[in-house]
Amino acid sequence: ETGVTQTPRHLVMGMTNKKSLKCEQHLGHNAMYWYKQSAKKPLELMFVYNFKEQTENNSVPSRFSPECPNSSHLFLHLHTLQPEDSALYLCASSLRDTANTGELFFGEGSRLTVL
């Protein structure tokens, strides 16, 4: 198994749909992250979980709902999204959430298109 796996790789959804993105890491890390990558914008940190507890929510709209059932799995539940939410959503993990070394391991991302 590769380090950080994201599914689905591509997702197209209407504004009234409900869908979820899944992330799984096999690295034994304790911190997991959701990032949003949009064209011409810096990488945006959305949520951080450390030992399954949410430690950061960067003013993300409530139509994005994260879930971290254990240190290896992270979900991003999506509902009533807007077209401007179309982006690449990247999951990452690290040994722990201190960013002392900033060594993050990223998945390949889920490309989301909202129609």
Partner 1 sequence: GEDVEQSLFLSVREGDSSVINCTYTDSSSTYLYWYKQEPGAGLQLLTYIFSNMDMKQDQRLTVLLNKKDKHLSLRIADTQTGDSAIYFCAESYNAGNNRKLIWGLGTSLAVNP
Q: Containing H/E element for 11?
A: strand 10-13
Contact flags string 74-103 toward partner 1, x per CB under 8 A = ----------------x-x-----xxxxxx
Round to whole Å and give the CA distance between 2 and 112. Answer: 22
Q: With binding defined as CB under 8 A, does residue 57 bind partner 1? A: no
Amino acid found at 42: P
Contacting residue, 64, 87, 109, 114, with partner 1 by CB under 8 A: 109
Q: With binding defined as CB under 8 A, does residue 108 bind partner 1? A: yes
Q: With binding defined as CB under 8 A, does residue 16 bind partner 1? A: no
Q: Which residues bind partner 1 (CB under 8 A)?
A: 4, 6, 40-43, 45, 56, 90, 92, 98-109
